A and B are shown apart, each in its own frame.
Chain A
Amino acid sequence: MSADSLERLAVAGKGDSTRTLLRVIILLLIAGAAISSRLFSVIRFESIIHEFDPWFNFRATKYLVANGFYKFWDWFDDRTWHPLGRVTGGTLYPGLMVTSGVIYHALRALSIPVDIRNVCVLLAPAFSGLTAYAAYLLTNEMTPSSSAGLLAAIFMGIAPGYISRSVAGSYDNEAIAIFLLVFTFYLWIKALKLGSMLWGALCALFYGYMVASWGGYAFITCLLPLHAFVLICMGRYSTRLYVSYTSWYALGTLASMQIPFVGFLPVKTSEHMPALGIFGFLQLLAFLDYVRSAIPSRQFQTFLWVFAGSVFGVGLTGLVVATSAGYIAPWGGRFYSLWDTGYAKIHIPIIASVSEHQPTAWPAFFFDLNMLIWLLPAGVYLCFQKLADEHVFVIVYALFGSYFAGVMVRLMLTLTPVVCVAAAIALSTILDTYLKAKSPIPEEHLVEESSDSTPKKASKSGLRASSKPYIGIYATFSKVTVAGAMTAYLLLFVAHCTWVTSNAYSSPSVVLASRMPDGSQHIIDDYREAYQWLRQNTKDDAKIMSWWDYGYQIGGMADRPTLVDNNTWNNTHIATVGKAMASREEVSYPIMRQHEVDYILVVFGGLLGYSGDDINKFLWMVRIAEGIWPDEVKEREFFTPRGEYRVDAGATDTMKNSLMYKMSYHNYNNLFPPGQAQDRVRGVRLPDDGGPVLNSIEEAFTSENWIIRIYKVKDLDNLGRDHASASAFERGQKKKKVIKKGPRVLRVD
């Protein structure tokens, strides 16, 4: 009975149209899973933009939607980097904003008027569905197995390594870039397999879109030439490689140069030189290939050595000369620090200060990829066994990607696609082997049945050792065991992914959530409280000085001009802010006057135990300022003689007199009974001396939990006194009568 129904099921699955239907349904379900697993934060909190960078993207998108494309293209933003401004049109990757602008207008044209904020919040989940589909297509190019593509699609859909950068509300470039990355790779493999110009051109167009979207396009620019180079070294040069690579490079480079931010970089910087070099090398190889078919092979030997050797030598020396003469820029700091991993920490503290730029720990791989990480080597091994052109691509990508993911946490994102593909290949091989409903019929049985009556039986059994071993799994027990174990792993994978997404990656950093003792949720919303205060209670062009982390959020939520922001293009300007924060008031006040600062915003987590506050970031401010003014700001002076970084009674005088310290702890003592003032982040008791005294600035606003403190910069004193003596007079501290006047200086008119 059950066997009969199973039979019928198997027959039903055989039909071609049934399979297509199943495929479509499965892909739709995967897209649904990919989208819905990214909605935790929207459902728990609200539909807002998270983090820091997305706030700028959101603001730029709003500008694009309000003013049209041409104005957006040459938008000069005078509300950031206050005295300087920012030529936004030429310093951003416009792909993300234009994509959501197009979606916004398309929805309007369909008479579904959706707010632009909701388009921006839900863009990343929508594109994750497309990414899953692109992974499906890419994997189908790799293996004939029909299940591998679907497995890769579901892996890509819910792997936390990708979810971490694409939850709803994370409106960052990576939201669409990973889709474009995977799809470009798919088109490249397709072009390489078919040797078609059209697929090469499509690859170039999507590469151009990728360049318009994310700075990580350099990964493609280096990976495709590397793949081509490895193929050439393996002696797999083919005319297909020539056609696909050159059509990709010729069109793709021109496409990438259309983006103002990229401009002439593809011909001028070292990151793009591998692509150009392989392009030239392929021309040479194509010519040699032609010559080889034309003349006898002995003559070809002479020709090859003389010609190829000289051309290669000339090319290499040309590149070296052009680099050393300065025509070609050397590696940029961000790329160079991937090779020399100690470089950034010594020379460019601003790169090293970002937490995403740290090396990856082992648990992070398992946390982000779970079972996929141990299926990756198996998949790569299987690729080695088949080793067609496209498998070389997977191998090269896996090696390259895992190196970079090991160097920098952030690049886990570019590793995830290849992990999904390789793991899907490995897993589908296992499943295809163990899930075949029919056992392969052993050859011996066939022979025996057919030759039952013949007298050769004796001689046959004698040759048993030399007969072929049967390949295949026969026992139902082993099939069920392995398939069951794999199913269990897959179910655990889904559970792990959901758990990680729900617990680790779905918290908007704008609102902080904490639990009350009874399990109910308590939301700490100090950021928006303070930004809203700024928006409503300051004049429209009041300049806000804060550390660069909060620049985009102030611009986005408070809508006020800032001095520095997360786009760290001018290191000196950031160092100026760092110096103002790290110096004595008498030094900081002229700096702030010169930059027309009206308000200063600091983040202080001492009351709540919020560790990402400005006192913990303070040393980076000092280091960045020290890089520019080594004899005015010294990191050593912020440490006690024993080398400790302290904020309590043992803090150094430089620390206690720095503007940051004073602003953070101003009036903080009054919250507590005398002598009980406690800093909950640093875990220390503050000195009981009434707290720091501010002379040239005054407190304007402090949020409910004291996370954000805003100070107003005082105007010059009416009577021309300096602020210290003016406020001493205000406080009623009587000036001591000085009988003996010092040597006076003549008044100069």
Chain B
Amino acid sequence: QAWNKVFSNLLTHYQDTTPQRTKLLDAFMAFLVVVGGLQFLYCVLAGNYPFNAFLSGFSATVGQFVLTASLRIQTTEANKGDFPSVSPERAFADYLVCSLILHFFCVNFIN
């Protein structure tokens, strides 16, 4: 009985209180989950022969997901108190640098 209420509450809360930019980030994260899931499914179905290729593709999505989640956390108004020294602009610059490093490693590792 409670389950429907829990999820509907969650959904309405999300739709009401989330700013537009954060929703954009969430859409990107959902996309990354789908891409990662598809890669994993393909790996399960077709085998993992070039294992480094699978790993770099999969960890690119995972890494980008957690980085985006970090950006989302840092730019959320409610978390302002946790990050006194990180402005949203600084968070975005950090995000860029980290993503570049991540992609460099992935491209290097995929051979």
Contact = CB atoms under 8 A, between A and B. Distances in A.
A718 interface: no
A247 interface: yes
The size class of the interface chain B forms with chain A is 35 or more
Contacts of A663: none
B10 interface: yes
A201 B70 contact: no
Contacts of A198: 93-94, 97-98
A130 to B, nearest CB: 23
A400 B94 CA distance: 32
A198 B89 CA distance: 13
B70 A246 contact: yes
Interface stretch (A149-157, A237-245, A595-603): A237-245
B59 A253 contact: yes
Contacts of B85: 194, 196
Nearest to A287: B69
B10 A294 contact: yes
A283 B66 contact: yes
Interface in A213-266: 238-240, 242-243, 246-247, 249-251, 253-255, 257-258, 264
A720 interface: no
A257 B6 CA distance: 42
A201 B102 CA distance: 9
A661 B22 CA distance: 78
Interface in B5-24: 5-6, 9-10, 13-14, 17
Interface string B90-105: 0101110110011001
B10 A295 contact: yes
A246 B65 CA distance: 10
A111 interface: no
Contact of A242 (B2, B10, B73): B73
Interface stretch (A296-304, A508-516, A672-680, A684-692): A296-304
B98 A264 contact: no
A195 B74 contact: yes
B5 A201 contact: no
A159 interface: no
Given A195-B82, A246-B66, A254 B9 contact: no
A299 B2 contact: yes
Nearest to B58: A267
B6 A299 contact: yes
A253 B55 CA distance: 11
A389 to B, nearest CB: 12
Contacts of A294: 9-10, 13-14, 17
A311 interface: no
A255 B69 CA distance: 20
B97 A250 contact: no
A196 B109 contact: no
A197 interface: yes
> Which of A205, A254, A286 has its CB near the most chain B CB atoms (within 10 A)?
A254
B82 A250 contact: no
B91 A197 contact: yes
A197 B55 contact: no
Contacts of A520: none
A196 B13 CA distance: 28
A10 to B, nearest CB: 33
Nearest to B69: A286
A317 interface: no
A106 interface: no
A291 interface: yes
Given A197-B94, A246-B66, A264-B55, A238 B82 contact: yes
A303 to B, nearest CB: 6
Contacts of B10: 291, 294-295
Contacts of A286: 69, 73
> Which of A197, A198, A239, A296 has its CB near the most chain B CB atoms (within 10 A)?
A197
A293 interface: yes
B67 interface: yes
Interface string A90-133: 00000000000000000000000000000000000000000000
A294 B94 CA distance: 27
Contacts of A296: 9
A295 B105 contact: no
Contacts of A205: 101
B74 A243 contact: yes
17 contacts: A195-B82, A195-B83, A197-B91, A198-B94, A198-B97, A238-B82, A239-B74, A240-B83, A243-B70, A250-B62, A250-B66, A254-B102, A258-B109, A283-B66, A286-B69, A294-B10, A296-B9
The 10 closest A-B pairs by CB, nearest first: A250-B63, A197-B94, A246-B66, A254-B105, A243-B70, A198-B94, A294-B13, A201-B98, A239-B73, A295-B9
Interface of B: 2-3, 5-6, 9-10, 13-14, 17, 51-52, 55-56, 59, 62-63, 66-67, 69-71, 73-74, 78-79, 82-83, 85-86, 91, 93-95, 97-98, 101-102, 105-106, 108-109
Interface of A: 194-198, 200-201, 204-205, 238-240, 242-243, 246-247, 249-251, 253-255, 257-258, 264, 267, 283, 286, 291, 293-296, 299, 302-303
